[in-house]
Chain A
């Protein structure tokens, strides 16, 4: 079955520390991959996306993600976290390409940043 998993519900890091948020998917082919961030009371903002090509993707706000086909993963990283990065992060996957794009979201990882 097609699915996307974010194994960490809640992560706490210190400001200035590095961050890695995990995302795994289950699918027979290479899907389109996305990371979104949602601040409290706000909509979702696209951080980065992967459709094809270079497996290391740079996004906004200093985030990057690496697609690893062998591990069916698309982990989000940031070398140095800022207090303003505290938010909920969603990995999302489009399993069906063509004209139907059912974007399936993971359950989210809530990031807390301590000063």
Chain B
């Protein structure tokens, strides 16, 4: 058990809808990362937060947004969903911002129909 909790585990929704994925980092970790894993794109870095502040941005679409709250949990918001957004979304955490994501959650599988 990595200590990183992601909810929900599965999400099925229709095109055009909006969903929110939630992540609770491992206890004591201040840095949260979001990744998208799909068959055609592999594992893609989306965004990193450290103690509530955005620290790095990757291939995150404008339709997607994220935030980290004062209690350090993070949410990834996906809007105007398209079929191609179907993927496994991972959250990861670490203590220091420069260490990289050390602990991954089990992911949220999003299916857009």
Contact = CB atoms under 8 A, between A and B. Distances in A.
Whether both chains belong to one complex is answered with yes
B83 interface: no
Interface stretch (B61-69, B73-81, B103-111): B103-111
A80 interface: no
Contacts of B58: 102
Given A43-B107, A44-B90, A107 B101 contact: no
A46 B103 contact: yes
Contacts, number: 66
Interface string A89-115: 010101011111111110110000000
Interface size class of A (residues with CB under 8 A): 20 to 34
Interface size class of B (residues with CB under 8 A): 20 to 34
Interface string B25-45: 000000101000000001101
Given A99-B98, A102-B58, A43 B48 contact: no
B99 A99 contact: no
B2 A43 contact: yes
Nearest to A44: B104
A43 B98 contact: no
Given A99-B55, A100-B48, A101-B56, 19 more contacts: A43-B4, A43-B90, A43-B106, A44-B90, A44-B92, A49-B100, A94-B100, A98-B97, A99-B98, A100-B55, A100-B56, A101-B31, A101-B94, A101-B100, A102-B45, A102-B48, A105-B42, A105-B43, A108-B43
Interface of B: 2, 4, 31, 33, 42-43, 45, 48, 50, 55-56, 58, 90, 92, 94, 97-107
